[in-house]
């Protein structure tokens, strides 16, 4: 087996390795997985697709240990319902409710997927023809970069009508896909198809299956809660369980013993760790900035002054940060410290806070804690090489990647955005306010009228442009991909 995992990545080597692992069981399988984990961590995730046999049982709550070696998975789940039993997905109706759920799942497998709720296209058509007519319903929300597309085919039959269609996420990273749809005709079935990196896709399957087994309706809030539980349960399963103690509420917390971050010429200080699809940060003292704008109307012209200013929330959305994987050499001390992530889940009463933290000690041990209350501990070890990688031990070892920000995209210095390229878009519609819970759909709307100009700021960070008489909203992107919006 060694020649398969130490050679260059290839479809043939991966298929042969999978066949070899399928022939093992018990201690022999555990040893083979352990020995293959390190060398396979250097393979691209997409070159390690999970075979169908390994994925069997995920929606029923069981996980094949061989999945610890897979980097990619494609899954499908279909559930049948009676005609009057098709879930309404939180009382919103299938079309609107399924959009919220599709968006949540897409963001889970591709963190940072957050397209605007702008309706780009909304059409419907129906004609009756004595049992052989039909039509369609179409809706597209988002922008030219990313969004959600709904298409539903309606067919008239002599005895009844049928409808088949669903939501598809677009603008995801290459190879990733999410589709949630349904078919209705005298009975109903709902289908989820998802493809993307592990363990995120596996967590989707475990969460989705749990809701189905428990007979709970799939809504944005319930799938978000189940996804967090699936991730926390997987993290606990990878490490020996310890006595659970109450965890503090989410929010700023003391870091206890101070950790001196290593400073070595030519070696950057790691700012984040990627564990699955989570990005955990530790405080480094390095500032974060955001794009800010001051605007002034001057008759039929608009003057906008742009600058980078220190962002006290450092950063506001770590999933949108352009992270890069730097080169070493690395030492164990580069990873020591407390790495954490916090967030919230929307519910009927507002939101429920959550947090997770890994405390990596210099002696090679770590402690994992999460809110709601979960704790575990284990050991970690650095992977030798130029890449900043380490492994967390447990039933299935977890690969962790060290990251720093791309300073071309995430500048640290505050001040005027001088002589910079910017994209300025005027629109006759203001987008809905950004929220954890997107607003209820109000029916088809006309697509917005927009005008985009590519401009360059002057030495003071200012641009001037003709102001369209219909414009009520302006959106500006700088060369680093940062965005600022304002109303006129």
- Distance set, CA 122 to CA 229, 269, 410, 444, 461 (Å): 36, 48, 36, 5, 39
Region 309-316: what's the mean pLDDT? 71
Predicted confidence at residue 419, as pLDDT, reads 92
Lowest mean pLDDT of 53-57, 111-115, 206-210, 312-316, name the range.
312-316
As a whole number of angstroms, the distance between CA 252 and CA 400 comes to: 24
* pLDDT at residue 352, as a whole number: 60
Q: How far is it, in rounded angstroms, from Cα 103 to Cα 167?
A: 9
Q: Name the phi and psi angles at 149, rounded to 5.
A: -125, 130
**Residues 235, 68: Cα–Cα separation, whole Å:** 12
- Lowest model confidence (mean pLDDT) among 145-149, 359-363, 380-384, 447-451: 447-451
Q: What percent of the chain has pLDDT over 70?
A: 79
Task: With CA atoms as reference, report the closest residue to 109 among 223, 215, 233, 236.
Answer: 223
Is pLDDT of 142 > 60? yes
Nearest-angstrom CA–CA distance, 399 and 380: 10
More confident of the two residues 473 and 447: 473
Q: Degrees (nearest 5) of the Cα angle 182, 184, 189?
A: 50
Whole-angstrom Cα distance, residue 358 to residue 369?
7
| Tens digit of each residue's pLDDT (9 = 90 or more) over 180-201 | 988 877 677 889 999 999 889 9
Q: Which of 160, 143, 161 is nearest to 152 (CA)?
A: 161
What is the structure's pLDDT at 85? 57
At 19 the three-state DSSP class reads helix
State how far Cα 452 lies from the chain centre. 28
User: Which tokens belong to 442?
Assistant: 């109000």
- The 10s digit of each residue's pLDDT in 120-136 is 988 888 777 665 677 88
Q: What number is the average pLDDT over the span 419-436?
A: 76
E strand or H helix at 444, and its extent?
none
The average pLDDT across 388-399 equals 78
Please tell me what DSSP assigns to residue 407. Answer: T
Residue 456 has pLDDT above 90, yes or no: yes
* Residue 354 banded pLDDT, cuts 50, 70, 90: confident
Which tens digit of pLDDT belongs to each residue from 262-280?
Answer: 566 778 889 899 888 788 8
Dist CA 193 CA 78 (whole Å): 9
Instruction: Give the mean model confidence (pLDDT) for residues 383-400.
Output: 82
Query: Helix (H, G, I), strand (E, B), or coil: what is residue 475?
Result: strand
List of residues 6+ apart from 53 with CB closer than 8 A: 22, 64
How much is the average pLDDT of 391-399? 74
pLDDT at 246: 40
160 SS3 class: coil
**Coil vs helix vs strand at 40:** helix
pLDDT score of 118 more than 50: yes
Q: Look at residue 380 and tell me whether its pLDDT is greater than 90.
A: yes
pLDDT tens track for 44-89: 888 889 998 999 888 888 888 899 899 999 999 888 766 555 555 5
Q: Considering only CA atoms, which of 317, 97, 379, 67 is closest in space to residue 220?
A: 97
Residue 319: band (very low, low, confident or very high) from pLDDT cuts 50, 70, 90: low
CB-CB contact of 148 with 102 (8 Å): yes
Model confidence at 487, pLDDT cuts 50, 70, 90, reads confident
Nearest partner of 463 among 427, 424, 409, 426, judged by Cα? 424
Distance between CA 264 and CA 358 in Å, rounded? Answer: 24
Write down the pLDDT at residue 438: 42
């Amino acid at each position: 087996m060694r020649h398969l995992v130490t050679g260059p990545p290839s479809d043939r080597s991966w298929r042969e390795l999978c066949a070899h692992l399928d022939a093992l069981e018990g201690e022999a399988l555990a040893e083979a997985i352990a020995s293959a984990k390190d060398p396979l961590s250097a393979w691209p995730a997409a070159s390690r697709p999970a075979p169908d046999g390994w994925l069997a049982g995920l929606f029923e709550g069981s996980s094949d240990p061989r999945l610890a070696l897979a980097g990619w998975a494609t899954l499908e789940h279909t559930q049948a319902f009676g005609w009057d039993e098709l879930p309404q997905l939180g009382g919103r109706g299938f079309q609107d409710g399924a959009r919220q759920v599709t968006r949540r799942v897409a963001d889970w497998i591709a963190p940072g997927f957050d397209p605007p709720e702008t309706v780009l296209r909304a059409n419907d058509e129906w004609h009756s023809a004595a049992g052989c007519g039909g039509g369609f319903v179409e809706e597209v929300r988002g922008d030219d970069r990313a969004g959600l597309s709904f298409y539903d085919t309606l067919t008239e039959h002599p005895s009844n009508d049928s409808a088949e269609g669903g939501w598809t996420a677009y603008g995801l990273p290459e190879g990733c896909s999410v589709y949630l749809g349904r078919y209705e005709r005298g009975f109903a079935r709902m289908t989820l198809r998802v493809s993307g990196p592990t363990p995120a896709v596996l967590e989707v399957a475990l969460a989705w299956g749990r809701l189905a087994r428990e007979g709970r309706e799939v809504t944005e809030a319930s799938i978000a809660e189940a996804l967090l539980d699936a991730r926390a349960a997987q993290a606990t399963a990878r490490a020996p369980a310890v006595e659970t103690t109450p965890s503090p509420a989410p929010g700023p917390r003391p870091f206890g013993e101070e950790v001196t971050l290593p400073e070595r010429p030519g070696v950057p200080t790691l700012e984040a760790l990627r564990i699955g699809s989570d990005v955990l940060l530790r405080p480094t003292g390095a500032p974060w900035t955001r794009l800010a704008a001051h605007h002034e109307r001057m008759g039929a012209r608009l003057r906008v002054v742009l600058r980078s200013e220190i962002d006290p929330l450092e950063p506001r959305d770590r999933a949108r940060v352009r992270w890069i994987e730097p080169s070493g050499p690395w030492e164990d001390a580069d990873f020591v410290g407390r790495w954490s992530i916090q967030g919230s889940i929307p519910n009927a009463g507002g939101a429920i806070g959550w947090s997770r933290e890994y405390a990596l000690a210099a002696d090679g041990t770590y402690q994992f804690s999460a809110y709601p209350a979960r704790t575990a501990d284990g050991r970690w070890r650095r992977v030798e090489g130029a890449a900043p990688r380490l492994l967390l031990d447990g039933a299935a070892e977890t690969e962790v990647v060290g990251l720093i920000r791309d300073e071309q995209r995430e500048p640290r210095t505050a001040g005027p955005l001088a002589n910079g390229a910017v994209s300025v878009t005027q629109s006759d519609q203001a987008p809905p306010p950004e929220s954890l819970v997107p607003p209820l759909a109000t029916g088809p709307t006309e697509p917005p009228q927009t005008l985009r100009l590519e401009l360059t700021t002057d030495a003071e960070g200012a641009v001037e442009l003709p102001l369209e008489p219909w414009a009520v909203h302006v959106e500006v992107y700088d060369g680093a991909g940062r965005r600022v919006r304002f109303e006129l």
